[in-house]
């Protein structure tokens, strides 16, 4: 096997609850609650109904609950339905670290639960597997960016290893599980490019399904491809485009990465949240939005580049595009005072008055805010300036140095 494959398998098999610090256990519990809350909030979404209908077609002696229903399915299909549903509302936790690939590590949580249930795992085993999934997802993301590939590619590996831990795989089986996750399951970044569709959320379910399936295959004795990372056509050459070793991992005095994820205060893309909070503060100062002449949003450069540059950010046609648009969430917050599930209904997205205000929003990058975003701890800063036709100027600002989002 290659060195990274061996390193990952050894780490996963050795991790145990007794050696995990109490603050890390607490962080895992918080994220279980947060993710299940996000699932409840997104339960009625159209793609969530579709994935539940698909999962209901499968049955298995290893029955796992389709959360929110009285129905069960196979572990991999329950993982598919539950992960997509917890992701749909855009309310689950988010991660950014300077130089990291970022993403939503909680995409791994309900797939881990879909394995913990049928094997009758205790709470300690479940939390250990959750912490392992976060650690793998985030350490790999910190070690390399994967341009052109979706972050759910990392979720497959993380879920597979955590599921394998719950299934009691031997170290040899874990190495095969890793290969069966890494080689067949690399998702294209087109999932989150341009006009976003309902697949944006369902990609998390697909990753969970693939990860669970890899672990189940390994338990049955399936062998994965040789040298999944270091091979001539392996992950290092084709996906990450660089080799890495993961020398630093949580445990033995090294903090676990689950502590560095951000619990979202609003149900929207992580890079839009500081804009929402700043716009909410500006809303308090306004008497209404009909007199607005122009709105300027100053944000950190990656937020502008990803959420405030393309034409689609000013003309969202789907819920998924709207919650990834700084102009949209700012306009909605200025009008309604906040942004939540109601602001992402198609009726609200198509509202003529809201669309008119949206066209008055300009997004610019602020070098100071960009510097804060690329520091540790990570800062999310935004300033929203509203100028009315009568010349009044109202400013709402979120400064991460004061602890608003940090």
Q: How far apart are CA 118 and CA 55, in angstroms?
A: 16
Our CA dihedral for 177, 179, 183, 186, rounded to 10 degrees, sits at 50
Residue 162 has pLDDT above 80, yes or no: yes
Structure token digits, residue 215: 């672990």
Whole-number average pLDDT of the chain: 95
pLDDT of 405: 65
- The tens digit of pLDDT for each residue in 67-114 reads 999 999 999 999 999 999 999 999 999 998 888 888 999 999 999 999
Tell me how crowded residue 62 is: count the other CB atoms within 10 A of its CB.
18
- The tens digit of pLDDT for each residue in 9-63 reads 999 999 999 999 999 999 999 999 999 999 999 999 999 999 999 999 999 999 9
* Mean pLDDT calculated for residue range 322-335: 97
pLDDT of 348: 96
Angstrom distances, CA of residue 173 to CA of 6, 88, 97, 245 = 11, 33, 32, 21
Q: How far apart are CA 203 and CA 80, in angstroms?
A: 9
Q: How far apart are CA 45 and CA 53, in angstroms?
A: 13
CB neighbour class for 397 (10 Å; exposed up to 12, middle 13-18, buried from 19): middle
pTM, full prediction: 0.94
pLDDT of 53: 98
pLDDT of 314: 97
Q: How far apart are CA 81 and CA 57, in angstroms?
A: 12
């Amino acid at each position: 096997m290659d060195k990274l494959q061996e390193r990952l398998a050894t780490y996963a098999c050795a991790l145990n609850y007794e050696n995990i610090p109490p603050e890390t256990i607490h962080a895992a519990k918080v994220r279980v609650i947060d993710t299940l809350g996000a699932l409840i909030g997104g339960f009625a979404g159209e793609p969530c109904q579709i994935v539940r209908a698909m999962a209901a077609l499968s049955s298995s002696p290893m029955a796992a609950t389709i959360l929110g229903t009285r129905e069960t399915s196979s572990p991999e299909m329950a993982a598919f339905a539950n992960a997509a549903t917890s992701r749909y509302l855009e309310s689950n936790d988010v991660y950014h670290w300077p130089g990291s690939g970022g993403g939503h590590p909680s995409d791994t949580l309900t797939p881990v639960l879909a394995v913990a249930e049928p094997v009758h795992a205790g709470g300690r085993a479940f939390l250990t597997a959750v912490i392992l999934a976060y650690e793998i997802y985030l350490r790999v993301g910190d070690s390399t960016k994967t341009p052109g590939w979706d972050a759910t590619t990392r979720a497959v590996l993380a879920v597979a290893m955590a599921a394998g831990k719950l299934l009691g795989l031997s170290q040899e089986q874990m190495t095969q599980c890793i290969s069966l996750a890494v080689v067949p399951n690399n998702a294209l970044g087109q999932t989150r490019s341009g006009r976003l569709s309902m697949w944006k959320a369902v990609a998390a379910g697909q990753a969970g399904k693939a990860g669970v399936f890899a672990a189940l295959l390994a338990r049955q004795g399936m062998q994965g491809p040789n040298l999944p990372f270091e091979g001539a056509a392996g992950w290092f050459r084709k996906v990450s485009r660089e080799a890495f070793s993961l020398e630093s991992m949580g445990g033995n005095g090294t903090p676990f990465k689950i502590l560095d994820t951000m619990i979202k205060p609003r149900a929207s893309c992580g890079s839009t949240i500081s804009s929402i909070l700043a716009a909410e503060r500006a809303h308090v100062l306004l008497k209404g939005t009909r007199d607005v002449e122009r709105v300027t949003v100053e944000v950190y450069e990656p937020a502008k580049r990803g959420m405030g540059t393309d034409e689609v950010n000013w003309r969202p046609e789907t819920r998924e595009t709207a919650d990834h648009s700084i102009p949209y969430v700012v306009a909605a917050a200025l009008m309604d005072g906040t942004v939540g599930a109601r602001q992402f209904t198609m009726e609200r997205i198509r509202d003529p008055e809201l669309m008119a205000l949206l066209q008055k929003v300009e997004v610019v990058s602020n070098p100071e805010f960009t510097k804060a975003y690329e520091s540790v701890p990570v800062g999310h800063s935004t300033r929203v300036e509203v100028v009315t036709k009568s010349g009044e100027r109202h400013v709402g600002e979120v400064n991460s140095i004061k602890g608003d989002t940090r």
